[in-house]
């Protein structure tokens, strides 16, 4: 037991370490916040094989939802905190990215490895940027086409104005011809 009859640290028969809990179910289970000056995760290429770039990251990410929530009172001993939380639902993540979810073999409760969202977000942003670039290119094409259409419309307006002038000229000449014909008709009668 630790200070004020709370458990400071326990190592059980399975060699699991518990801080703030007497029944750790993982190699290290901490009830409460963890303060660290840094975290390091092994990621050296030499440890890895069958490396593939994530595909359809944006599509898959769109199937997930970020949520806000409060932790249930019945789990206060887990040290989750009383305030509003933000995260994801492990069962929903598991359907899209099962490799991000860990299910505790003893309790069945699920946990999400939030750090593994980083490569997904990187690829999703890249996919989204490709879409943005394609839309920019398409937009520029539409702008160029629009400029061409505007120039054509302007040319048609000029031609239309010339046709109106020609029409009015011909109309005037026709009126003069009618007048001349009327005068001739009157002179012959």
Q: Give the lowest-confidence range in 26-35, 83-92, 94-103, 141-150.
A: 26-35
> pTM here?
0.69
The residue count for the chain: 189
**3-state helix, strand and coil shares in percent for the chain, rounded to the nearest 5:** 55, 10, 35
> Within 20-82, where are the H helices?
57-62
At 63, give phi and psi (nearest 5°).
Answer: -85, -10
Residue, of 187 and 161, whose pLDDT is higher: 161
Residue 37 has pLDDT above 80, yes or no: no
Q: Give the lowest-confidence range in 8-17, 104-113, 169-178.
A: 8-17
Q: What is the pLDDT of residues 149-170, one digit of tens each?
A: 999 999 999 999 999 999 999 9
Q: For 22-49, what is the mean pLDDT? A: 83
Residue 2: alpha-carbon gap to chain centroid: 47
Task: Report which of 90, 84, 86 is spatially closest to residue 107, judged by C-alpha positions.
Answer: 90
Give the C-alpha separation, 182 to 180, whole Å.
5
């Amino acid at each position: 037991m630790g200070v004020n009859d709370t458990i400071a640290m326990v190592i059980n028969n399975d060699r699991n370490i518990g801080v703030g809990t007497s029944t750790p179910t993982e190699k290290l289970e901490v009830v409460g916040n963890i303060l660290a000056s840094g975290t390091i995760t092994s990621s050296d290429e030499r440890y890895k094989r069958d490396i593939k770039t994530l595909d359809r990251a944006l599509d898959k990410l769109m199937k997930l939802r970020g949520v806000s929530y409060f932790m249930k009172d019945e789990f206060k001993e887990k040290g989750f905190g009383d305030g509003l939380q933000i995260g994801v639902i492990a069962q929903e993540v598991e359907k899209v990215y099962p490799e991000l979810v860990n299910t505790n073999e003893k309790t069945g409760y699920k946990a999400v490895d939030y750090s593994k969202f980083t490569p997904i977000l990187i690829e999703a942003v890249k996919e989204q940027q490709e879409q943005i670039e394609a839309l920019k290119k398409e937009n520029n094409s539409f702008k160029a086409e629009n400029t061409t259409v505007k120039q054509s419309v302007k040319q048609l307006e000029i031609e239309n104005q010339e046709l109106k002038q020609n029409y009015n000229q011909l109309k005037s000449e026709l009126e003069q011809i009618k007048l001349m014909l009327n005068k001739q008709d009157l002179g012959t009668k």
